[in-house]
A and B are shown apart, each in its own frame.
Chain A
Amino acid sequence: MKARIRITLKNGVLDPQGKAIQNALSSLGFKGVEEVRQGKYIEVDLVSTDEAAARTEVERMCRELLANLVIEDYAFELTAK
């Protein structure tokens, strides 16, 4: 299976990089931008073909390494490769 993982900053956590991107968009003339939040996207190819097992595994990967739960949330979807 393939996991597509999105890691985003929790609500309320300041995102200076998002702010810088917003400022850059604004200086490029994009006037309709209310807010920018940036994060990470990670793809993990798994040997497993069992969705339940893969879900448990990816949950652990996110909690133990991929996301820092002090400031980040994660979400992922699993698809057949």
Chain B
Amino acid sequence: MKSSVIVFPGTNRERDVADVLADVTGTAPHIVWHGDSEVPQSDLIVLPGGFSFGDYLRCGAMAAHSPIMRDVVAKAKAGVPVLGICNGFQILCETGLLPGVLQRNASLKFICKDVWLKVESTRTHFTRCYNQGEVAQMICAHGDGNYFADPATLDRLEGEGQVAFRYCDPAGNITPESNANGAQRNIAGISDATGRILGMMPHPENAAEAMLGSVDGRKLFESLLAAA
């Protein structure tokens, strides 16, 4: 399985995700600069975390209009799986590949801590190695992760099984206290209708080695192999 990791000015988690991809898939990913016009032939495109373009205007707004994104959108629409982590999730929302938007955390503080996620859908390409309702421990590190969409969109996402992850407590209870950033309905990650595009705020690539405190993110990458 060959992957491409897109790098924008200000991206900072590309090496983390490249390391895990190389480990899980056995092949080092292409690292693709945002100014390029074409993504190499890939079975997965990753938009990694960071602060593309210094979060100017809105998080992900400038990156969404980078030259490479035209091809990312075209390939996504042609069925190539796309994973957006943290800033990558923000970029996917800004391009319109995923609905909604990530607003400033309700606390107004940058949050860097462990979070627990309830796996709400196992039908996406990225979650099929998890069990329905499983609790996965990952790390989040963001200032703007507060997911917002209008109630009709939220109902549709829930109805179609597009809510992939919700913030929960370690026992799996979805509570206001476990909601890391004030996201609507505790939403931490969503997919498109096909399950091939996933955006999430927490970092599965930083929860894929025992040395880092959790391996619960590793299954997300293993799911892609199972899907391939």
8 Å CB contact of B103 from A20, A66, A71? A71
B57-65, B133-141, B171-179, B219-227 - interface stretch: B57-65
B contact face: mostly helix, strand, loop, or mixed: loop
Are A71 and B57 in touch, CB under 8 angstroms? no
8 Å CB contact of B61 from A13, A14, A68, A71? A68
Bound-state CA distance A65–B93 (Å) is 13
Are B65 and A65 in touch, CB under 8 angstroms? yes
Q: Does A17 contact B (CB under 8 A)?
A: yes
- 0 or 1 for each of B100-122: is its CB under 8 Å from A? (1 = yes): 11011111100000000000000
Q: Does A53 contact B (CB under 8 A)?
A: no
Are B108 and A17 in touch, CB under 8 angstroms? yes
Are A65 and B108 in touch, CB under 8 angstroms? no
How many of A's residues come within 8 Å of B, CB to CB?
Answer: 10
Contact of A16 with B61 at beta-carbon distance under 8 Å, contacts A68-B94, A70-B100, A71-B103 already known? no
Are B101 and A71 in touch, CB under 8 angstroms? yes
Bound-state CA distance A23–B93 (Å) is 31
Q: Please, which residues of chain B bring their CB within 8 A of the CB of A68?
A: 58, 61, 94, 101
Are B101 and A14 in touch, CB under 8 angstroms? no
Q: Please, which residues of chain B bring their CB within 8 A of the CB of A71?
A: 101, 103, 148
Quote the shortest CB–CB distance from B224 to chain A (angstroms): 28
Q: Please, which residues of chain B bring their CB within 8 A of the CB of A17?
A: 104, 108
Q: Please, which residues of chain A bring their CB within 8 A of the CB of B99?
A: 70
Residue positions of A touching B, CB distance < 8 A? 13-14, 16-17, 20, 65-66, 68, 70-71
Report the 7 A-B pairs with minimum CB-CB distance, sorted nearest first: A70-B101, A16-B106, A16-B108, A71-B101, A68-B101, A20-B108, A16-B104
Q: Sample 17 A-B pairs with CB under 8 A, ordered by A number.
A: A13-B103, A14-B103, A14-B106, A14-B148, A14-B182, A16-B105, A16-B146, A16-B182, A65-B65, A70-B93, A70-B99, A70-B100, A70-B148, A70-B150, A71-B101, A71-B103, A71-B148
